[in-house]
C-alpha cells in the first residue's frame, strides 16, 4: 500500500510533528488533508487556515490563494455556503491586490462561480466559465484545474441537452483520475459528481462502472471517510436494480450510518430515501415511511417513493395528491423523468387515464432526448400500462414486448417481473389462457426470489380471480363500464365517473354487447347478474 493511502498514519505522524515544531505550510496542507479524509472536518479547516496564513506571511500568494480555494470548495461540499463564499472572496481579493492576474489560481476561482450558475440552471453561463477554467488549466498544466473544468463542461453540456457529448467529456475526466496526479479531495468530488450525473440521465451502465471504480478507490484507503457514504448509497441502488435487495438494504443502512456521523453530510438524504425504497418493495411499509421522513429531514424529497407507498397501502387518493403536487412543483426535466412513471401508475389506479396518457407522451419525449435504454424501457412499460387500462390490448402487448427486451438487456429482474405481470393481464383479456398462465407464473417466480411481498400478494389475488371467475373476455375497463351500466348510469355519467371520453364509453359498451352476445343494456345487466360476472372482480 502506498504511503498516501495510509491517512490515519499520516495524520498521527504529522500531528505529533506539529506538536514538536510548527509544520511548514506544505506539510500543513498534507496534515489538513489527512484530517479531512479520516473524518475530522472541523480540524482540517483549522489546519488549512493555518497553512493559508503561513503562505501569506511567506509572500507565497499563489499557494495562499490555492489553499483558500480548497478550503472554500471543501466547505461548499459540506453545505457551509456562507463560509465557503467568504474564503473564495478572500482568494479573489488577494489575487487582485497582488496583481497575480496570470496564474492557475485565477482559473480555480472561476469554478465556484461556474458551480453557482450551473446549480441555478444557467448552464450556458456555467459552460463559458468552465471553458475558461479548463483553458487556464491547460495553459499552466494544472491537472486539478483541468479535471474540475472538464467535469463542469460535461455537466453543463448535459444540462443544455447535449447528453452524448457531455457524457463523453465525463468519461475523459474519469480517465484523468487514473492517469494524472489529482488532489484527493478533487478526486472524490469528481467521482461522486460523475456517478450522480450518469444516474440522473439514466445511464445505468456508466453509473455502475464508475461506482465500481469509486469502490475500489475507497477500498484501497480503508480509513477514508468522505465519499465512502455516497459510494455506499449509490452502490445500494445499483445492487437493488440487479435484484439482491437484502444486500442493497445492508449497503443503504451502512450509508446512513456513515453519512449521519457529526456533522453529517447532505447525501444522507439520498441514503435514507434508498433505504425507504427497498423497504417499500419488501413490504415493510412502516419502516419505509420512517426512512422517507428521515430523508426529508436531510433535504431529500421522499418522492416518488412516498406516493407509491400510499398507493400500495390502498390510499389511492392520497397517492394522487402527493404525486400530482410534487410533479407540479418540479420543472427540471431530470426530476420530472423520475416522477412521471409513478404518476402514470397512480393516475391509472384512480382512473385518470387521459392524464396518464399525457404523462406517457412527456416521458416519451424525455426518452428521445436522453436516448438511454432505461428511459426507453420505462416509456414502453408505462405506455403499455396505459393502453391496457384503455382496453387497447394489442397496442399494450406491443409496447410491453419492447420494454421486456430492454429490461432483459439491462438485467433488471423486478422491472421484468412487473412487465410479465402486465403481459399476463393482456393475454388473459385476449382469452389466451396458456400464455397468461406462463406470464403470471414467471412474474410470481421472480417476485418470490426478490421477496417482493406486496407484488406477490397482488399477483396471488390475480391468480385466485383467474381460477374462480369467468369474465367472458371482458377487459378490466369493460368490467368497470359494465358495473356502471348495471347501476343505470348514462354514457355521459360513466365518462365523468371513469375520466374517459363518451366516445370511449360508446366503444366499450359496443364491445360488451358483442362479447356477451346481447343487444341492449337490459340484456347485458341480466346476463351479468345471472353469470355473476362482477362478483369480487372489482374489489
* Average pLDDT, integer, range 208-220: 88
* Average pLDDT, integer, range 377-390: 96
Look-up: residue for cell 496564513?
53
Residues 481, 413 within the same domain = no
Q: Could you please report the per-residue DSSP string of 350-364?
A: TT-HHHHHHHHHHHH
Distance CA 318, CA 315 (A): 5
Residues 30, 178 within the same domain = yes
pLDDT at 2 over 50: no
Residues 74, 102 within the same domain = yes
Distance CA 512, CA 534 (A): 13
* Other beta carbons less than 10 A from residue 467's beta carbon: 7
* Average pLDDT, integer, range 466-485: 74
Residues 453, 486 within the same domain = no
68, HSE (Cβ side, Cα atoms, 13 Å): 26
Residues 147, 53 within the same domain = yes
Are 181 and 189 in contact by the 8 Å Cβ rule? The answer is: no
What b-and-e string marks burial along 327-339, b requiring 16 or more CB atoms within 10 Å of the CB?
beebeebbbbbbb
Q: What is the pLDDT of residues 351-383, one digit of tens each?
A: 899 999 999 999 999 999 999 999 999 999 999
Distance CA 222, CA 7 (A): 9
Q: How far apart are the first and last CA of the chain?
A: 63
Residues 199, 233 within the same domain = no
Are 30 and 52 in contact by the 8 Å Cβ rule? The answer is: no
Domain ends where: 224, 251, 279? 224
| pLDDT for the residue numbered 228 | 82
What is residue 8's three-state secondary structure?
A: helix
**Which residues are within 8 A (CB) of 379 and not within 5 positions of it... i.e. 6 or more apart?**
360, 363, 364, 366, 367
| pLDDT for the residue numbered 1 | 34
Domain ends where: 202, 224, 246? 224
Residues 294, 433 within the same domain = no
- 309 within a domain of the structure (yes/no): no
pLDDT at 475 over 90: no
Domain of 493, CATH number, reads 1.10.10.10
- 372 within a domain of the structure (yes/no): yes
- 325 within a domain of the structure (yes/no): no
| pLDDT for the residue numbered 100 | 64
Residues 214, 241 within the same domain = no
Alpha carbon of 281 to those of 240, 287, 457: distances in Å?
Answer: 10, 11, 12
**Which residues are within 8 A (CB) of 323 and not within 5 positions of it... i.e. 6 or more apart?**
303, 304, 307, 339, 342, 343, 346
pLDDT at 537 over 50: no
With CA atoms as reference, report the closest residue to 362 among 385, 343, 387: 343
Which of residues 468 and 202 earns the better pLDDT score? 202
**Which residues are within 8 A (CB) of 285 and not within 5 positions of it... i.e. 6 or more apart?**
279, 309, 312, 313
Residues 18, 105 within the same domain = yes
Domain of 269, CATH number, reads 1.25.40.10
| pLDDT for the residue numbered 301 | 96
Alpha carbon of 87 to those of 91, 144, 184: distances in Å?
Answer: 6, 19, 20
Q: How many domains is the chain built from?
A: 4
Q: What is the pLDDT of residues 443-474, one digit of tens each?
A: 999 999 999 999 999 998 877 665 545 677 77
Domain ends where: 193, 224, 255? 224
Residues 78, 190 within the same domain = yes
Residues 169, 32 within the same domain = yes
- 442 within a domain of the structure (yes/no): yes
- 465 within a domain of the structure (yes/no): no
Q: Burial, 518: exposed, middle or buried (Cβ in 10 Å; 0-12, 13-18, 19+)?
A: middle
Are 151 and 194 in contact by the 8 Å Cβ rule? The answer is: yes
Q: Which three cell numbers stand for residue 50?
A: 493555518
The listed range with the strongest mean pLDDT (283-287, 470-474, 486-490) is 283-287
Q: Which three cell numbers stand for residue 120?
A: 441555478
Q: Whole domain around residue 382: which residue ranges?
A: 330-459
Distance CA 152, CA 43 (A): 29
Are 62 and 99 in contact by the 8 Å Cβ rule? The answer is: no
Residues 45, 139 within the same domain = yes
* Average pLDDT, integer, range 126-135: 97
Amino acid at each position: 500500500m502506498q504511503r498516501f493511502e495510509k491517512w490515519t498514519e499520516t495524520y498521527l505522524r504529522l500531528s505529533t510533528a506539529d506538536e514538536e515544531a510548527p509544520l511548514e505550510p506544505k506539510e500543513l496542507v498534507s496534515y489538513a488533508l489527512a484530517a479531512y479524509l479520516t473524518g475530522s472536518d472541523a480540524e482540517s479547516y483549522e489546519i488549512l487556515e493555518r497553512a493559508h496564513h503561513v503562505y501569506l506571511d511567506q509572500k507565497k500568494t499563489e499557494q495562499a490563494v490555492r489553499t483558500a480555494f480548497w478550503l472554500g470548495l471543501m466547505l461548499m461540499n459540506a453545505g457551509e455556503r456562507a463560509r465557503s463564499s467568504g474564503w473564495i472572496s478572500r482568494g479573489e481579493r488577494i489575487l487582485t491586490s497582488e496583481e497575480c492576474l496570470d496564474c492557475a489560481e485565477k482559473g480555480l476561482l472561476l469554478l465556484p462561480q461556474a458551480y453557482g450558475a450551473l446549480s441555478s440552471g444557467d448552464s450556458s453561463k456555467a459552460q463559458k466559465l468552465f471553458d475558461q477554467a479548463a483553458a487556464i488549466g491547460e495553459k499552466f498544466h494544472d491537472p486539478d484545474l483541468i479535471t474540475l473544468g472538464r467535469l463542469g463542461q460535461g455537466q453543463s453540456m448535459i444540462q443544455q441537452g447535449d447528453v452524448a457529448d457531455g457524457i463523453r467529456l465525463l468519461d475523459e475526466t474519469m480517465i484523468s483520475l487514473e492517469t494524472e496526479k489529482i488532489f484527493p479531495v478533487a478526486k472524490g468530488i469528481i467521482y461522486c459528481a460523475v456517478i450522480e450525473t450518469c444516474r440522473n440521465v439514466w445511464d445505468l451502465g456508466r453509473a455502475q462502472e464508475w461506482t465500481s471504480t469509486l469502490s475500489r478507490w475507497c477500498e484501497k484507503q480503508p480509513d477514508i471517510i468522505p465519499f465512502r457514504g455516497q459510494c455506499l448509497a449509490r452502490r445500494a441502488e445499483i445492487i437493488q436494480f440487479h435484484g439482491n435487495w437484502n444486500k442493497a438494504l445492508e449497503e443503504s443502512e451502512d450509508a446512513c450510518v456513515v453519512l449521519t456521523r457529526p456533522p453529517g453530510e447532505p447525501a444522507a438524504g439520498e441514503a435514507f430515501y434508498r433505504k425507504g425504497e427497498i423497504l417499500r418493495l419488501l413490504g415493510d411499509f412502516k419502516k419505509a415511511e420512517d426512512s422517507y421522513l428521515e430523508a426529508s429531514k436531510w433535504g431529500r424529497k421522499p418522492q416518488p417513493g412516498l406516493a407509491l407507498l400510499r398507493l400500495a397501502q390502498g390510499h389511492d387518493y392520497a397517492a394522487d395528491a402527493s404525486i400530482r403536487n410534487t410533479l407540479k412543483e418540479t420543472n427540471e426535466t431530470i426530476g420530472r423523468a423520475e416522477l412521471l412513471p409513478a404518476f402514470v401508475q397512480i393516475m391509472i389506479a384512480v382512473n385518470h387515464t387521459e392524464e396518464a396518457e399525457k404523462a406517457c407522451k412527456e416521458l416519451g419525449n424525455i426518452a428521445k432526448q436522453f436516448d438511454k435504454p432505461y428511459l426507453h424501457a420505462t416509456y414502453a412499460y408505462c405506455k403499455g400500462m396505459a393502453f391496457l387500462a384503455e382496453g387497447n390490448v394489442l397496442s399494450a402487448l406491443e409496447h410491453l414486448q419492447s420494454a421486456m427486451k430492454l429490461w432483459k438487456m439491462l438485467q433488471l429482474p423486478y422491472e421484468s417481473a412487473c412487465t410479465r405481470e402486465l403481459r399476463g393481464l393482456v393475454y388473459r383479456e385476449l382469452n389466451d389462457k396458456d400464455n397468461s398462465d406462463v406470464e403470471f407464473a414467471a412474474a410470481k417466480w421472480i417476485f418470490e426470489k426478490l421477496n417482493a411481498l406486496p407484488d406477490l400478494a397482488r399477483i396471488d389475488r390475480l391468480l385466485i380471480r383467474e381460477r374462480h371467475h369467468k369474465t367472458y373476455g371482458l377487459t378490466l375497463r369493460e368490467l368497470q363500464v359494465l358495473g356502471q351500466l348495471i347501476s343505470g348510469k348514462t354514457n355521459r355519467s360513466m365518462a365523468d365517473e371513469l375520466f374517459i371520453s363518451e366516445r370511449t364509453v360508446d366503444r366499450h359498451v359496443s364491445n360488451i354487447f358483442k362479447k356477451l352476445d346481447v343487444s341492449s343494456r337490459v340484456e347485458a345487466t341480466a346476463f351479468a347478474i345471472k353469470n355473476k360476472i362482477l362478483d369480487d372482480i372489482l374489489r
